[in-house]
Amino acid sequence: MYEHGVKATSVDDVLVASGCGKSQFYHYFSGKNDLVAAVLEYQFEIVLGGIHEFRLDTWSGIRAWFDSLLVGQEQRGFKGCPVGSLTVELSASSPSLQRHVAEAFSRWENILADALTSMKRKELLEPRAQPVLLAETTLSAIQGGYLLSTARRDIRPMETALAAAYTHLRTSRARR
Amino acid sequence: MYEHGVKATSVDDVLVASGCGKSQFYHYFSGKNDLVAAVLEYQFEIVLGGIHEFRLDTWSGIRAWFDSLLVGQEQRGFKGCPVGSLTVELSASSPSLQRHVAEAFSRWENILADALTSMKRKELLEPRAQPVLLAETTLSAIQGGYLLSTARRDIRPMETALAAAYTHLRTSRARR
DNA sequence: TACTCTTTGTACCAGACAGTACAAGACTCC
DNA sequence: GGAGTCTTGTACTGTCTGGTACAAAGAGTA
């Protein structure tokens, strides 16, 4: 589903790939939508889980995280953000999946905002920095970078976007 | 296709909506892929055509353009960028459509880069500003903003992203 | 052993899908 | 006005789709 899109991946495709029978599938999932929700959950878990390897409340941690995103995008063959691609396709689908997506993005944003708030407390960010807005901006840059990089099959646009995002964060750093 | 996705829109759907017969369709298009390519072309034409209403080589023009993007996203019911959504779905499809997408994005980027180069010539941007990088960053912010805004059905994230993009451009402005 | 409840394999279904066949209508040019 | 080309409507085909039916296998238990 990540590679070919949700719509383009049939239940039968999944069954073949997993080596399961149909009855098994419909025993554990109520239908395709249920599976899609599970995939979404799974992908978000990976993305959000990956974040915790980094100390996002330090400048070097943020940089390391950005680098890991770049490496991942290249290694996976420019297939885009595991959740970004799903998001676009599902944003036009059933409301329940839609809510799922929105909520997952909020969680992601909150993790960033929390880290930035922590940086503010540690006086790495200036007092009037706005963590929530900075988190939103950063996430936008990441997603936009993924999209351009995927469209062009080139890591450069994403590098540029993340570098700009980092610069933008740095403009809110505390100066002593 | 913009509303429901390419895969989710059947040829028959298109025929019903257009009031055309099947033979008519296959007379003018070699198949669904051909239609998709035309849709992509059409959407890019609209997006790129809309740009020319603005003087992107002025600060106020850029701001006006950004505002128009925001208004459009809200008016169209948070359906995302007309080309961004297609891009994501098609980036996993046939290589010919893929190339189409990549090329169209390059055109978009070039328009921005040209405008920024012009600003540099007019000494609105500092001499060491890099139009191509700035254009890439701006485009990333736009696409990322669209994506978040669509996922959350809220204009705020896109506002934030565009405001940050504008600020980022302004950091390269010439100081006299 | 016999009785359950859970889990799985196989065959099947009705509808949607992209695309084709073919003939008939419309138009152009001599 | 007629031959030939361009355009269109209708019916059809084979394949794929998500989902169901149903029976059999397996696991637990008294």
* Partner residue opposite A80 with nearest CB, options B79, B88, B141: B88
Q: How far apart are CA B138 and CA A140, in angstroms?
A: 11
Cβ–Cβ gap B139/A151 under 8 Å: no
> pLDDT band for position B82 (50/70/90)?
very high
**Predicted local distance difference test score (pLDDT) of residue B5:** 93
pLDDT tens string A36-70: 999 999 999 999 999 999 999 999 999 999 999 99
Residues of chain B contacting A80 with CB distance shorter than 8 Å? 88, 91
Residues of chain B contacting A152 with CB distance shorter than 8 Å? 102, 105-106
> pLDDT band for position B144 (50/70/90)?
very high
pLDDT mean across residues, chain B: 94
> pLDDT band for position B10 (50/70/90)?
very high
What domains does chain B contain, in order, with CATH numbers?
33-170 (1.10.357.10)
* Partner residue opposite B139 with nearest CB, options A85, A101, A148: A148
Residue A176 has pLDDT above 80, yes or no: no
Gyration radius from chain B CA atoms: 18
Q: How far apart are CA B143 and CA A146, in angstroms?
A: 9
Torsions phi, psi for B130 (to 5 deg): -110, 95
| Residue A153 to chain B, least CA–CA distance (Å) | 8
Residue type, B61: G
Q: Are A111 and A50 in contact (CB under 8 A)?
A: no
Cβ–Cβ gap A157/B168 under 8 Å: no
Kindly report the number of other CB atoms within 10 A of residue A127's CB atom. Answer: 7
**Predicted local distance difference test score (pLDDT) of residue A175:** 84
In 3D, which of B146, B9, B154 has the Cα closest to residue B81? B146
Residues of chain A contacting B152 with CB distance shorter than 8 Å? 102, 105-106
* Partner residue opposite B5 with nearest CB, options A92, A142, A164: A92
Q: Of residues 22 to 81 in chain A, which lie within 7 A of strand D by their beta carbon?
A: 22-23, 26, 31-33
Which of the nucleotides lies closest to B10 (Cα–C1')? C17
DSSP 3-state of A173: strand
CA distances from B164 to A39, A111, A134, B161 (A): 32, 20, 9, 5
